[in-house]
Structure 1
Amino acid sequence: MKIFAIADTHLSGEPPAKPMSIFGDHWEGHWDKIKASWQEQVSNEDVVLIAGDISWAMKLPDALVDLNAIASLPGRKIMVRGNHDYWWQTMSKMNKAVEGKIEFLNNSFAPAGEWAVCGSRGWTCPEDPLFTTEDRPIFDRELLRVEASLNAACTAGFNRIILMLHFPPFYNHYSETGFAGLIAKYNVELCIYGHLHSESSIKNAATGIINGTAYHLVSCDALEFKVKQLI
């Protein structure tokens, strides 16, 4: 079993209702590039982690064309919500809609061999200059969700943990607060995240080993529209 990751697929039906090429020529045909990489590298025995911003759809029925397109690809798929995934509903509604072909994380974890995949959306960190008082309750709630996921995995006996967020776990420089504090507390081995797209934010993103945890930025444009093998 191999474990791969990608984020920010930003699908919008077929043909796309919102072509991503409006954000730059490099986005032209981005889903075709992702699919080609996915089909080349991923087998049905593998796991693909999808770290949010999956579909532009506003409602779950409208997102199904995108979710079904992902479900049709090889491997087991595990997702967390992104800030643009307005179609996200209760676990029961989403599981029923996709007929169990995709797994969604919310206050929970997913076993993958010796690994536990934990995760939630995350949120803008307080150190970010754009953080506002309106962000605080969302940030605090996401901290609780991430800790519930990590605690569930540890309670189940897992000691090898992957944490999947949509937002970066900290802003620019490492700080042992918030999500980074939970990563340290629960000895997370790998942390993946997306959300970042600009050239400067991708260049300055936290990657590599920091305080014993391997950080990976997996927004699809940062990966040149290819899935990234983690394990």
Structure 2
Amino acid sequence: MRIYAIADLHLSGNPPAKPMEVFGTNWLNHWSKIKTAWLEQVCIDDIVLLAGDISWAMKLNEALTDLNTIIRLPGKKILIRGNHDYWWQTVSKMTKAVAGQLSFLNNSFEPAGEWAICGSRGWTCPEDPLFCDTDLPIFQRELLRVESSLTQATKAGYGNIILMLHYPPFYGNKAKGGFTSLIEKYGVKKCVFGHLHGEAVSTAATGIINGVDYCLVSCDALNFGIQRVI
């Protein structure tokens, strides 16, 4: 079993209702590139972490075209919500809609062999110059959700934890406080995240920081490939 990760698929049906090349020529046929890499690397027994911004759909029934496209690809898929996933509902509603063929994290974790997959959306960090007063309650709520996920995995006896966030866990190189405090408190080994695109990709701090392996997996940062995590 291998574990892969990717974020920000930004699907919008077939044919796409929102072609992504409006954000740059590198996005032309981006889903075709991702599928090619996925099929070349991922086997049926592998796990793929999808770190948010899966579909542009506004409602769950509208997102099913995109979700079923993902279901048809190999591997077990574990999803978290991104800031654009407006179709996201309760885990029970989503699980029923896809007949249990996808796993959704919400105040929970998912076993993956000797690893526990934890996660939540995350939010803009207070160190970000764009952070404002209205962000604070959302940020604090996401801290609680992440801790709930990590607590459950720890109580279940897992020492190897991968944390999946949509937003970066910290701003720039300021790896302190907030999500990083939880990451270090619960001994997270690896943290994958997305959300950053274009020039912002270069602002992400990645690699081993304070003993934790941080990896940016937004699809354009991966050149529309798929990142092996384990």
Name the structure 1 match of 2:226. 227
**Residues 147 and 182 in structure 2, CA contact (< 8 A), matched pair in contact too:** yes
Name the structure 2 match of 1:98. 98
User: Distance in 2 between the 1:83 and 1:27 partners?
Assistant: 19
Deviation at 1:203, TM superposition (A): 1.3
- Which letter maps to 2:221? A
Report 1:1-231 matches (<5 A). Answer: 1-199=1-199, 201-231=200-230
- Which letter maps to 1:212? G
User: Distance in 1 between the 2:221 and 2:130 partners?
Assistant: 22
User: Distance in 1 between the 2:85 and 2:205 partners?
Assistant: 24
- Which letter maps to 1:144? L
- Which letter maps to 2:9? T
**Residues 198 and 220 in structure 2, CA contact (< 8 A), matched pair in contact too:** no
The CA deviation string for residues 125-149 of structure 1, in whole angstroms up to 9 with x for no partner, is 0010111111000000000000000
Secondary structure, aligned partner of 1:132: coil
Structure 2 length-normalised TM: 0.99
- Which letter maps to 2:20? M
User: Distance in 2 between the 1:206 and 1:27 partners?
Assistant: 23
Runs of 4+ in 1 over 4 A off after TM superposition: none
- Which letter maps to 1:164? M
Secondary structure, aligned partner of 2:85: coil
Unaligned stretches of 5+ residues in structure 2? none
Deviation at 1:173, TM superposition (A): 1.7
Secondary structure, aligned partner of 2:4: strand
Secondary structure, aligned partner of 1:136: helix
- How many residues are paired up? 230
Unaligned stretches of 5+ residues in structure 1? none
Secondary structure, aligned partner of 2:215: strand
Residue identity (%): 66
Secondary structure, aligned partner of 2:181: helix
Structure 1 length-normalised TM: 0.99
Greater displacement, 166-175 / 75-84: 166-175
RMSD value, Cα: 0.5
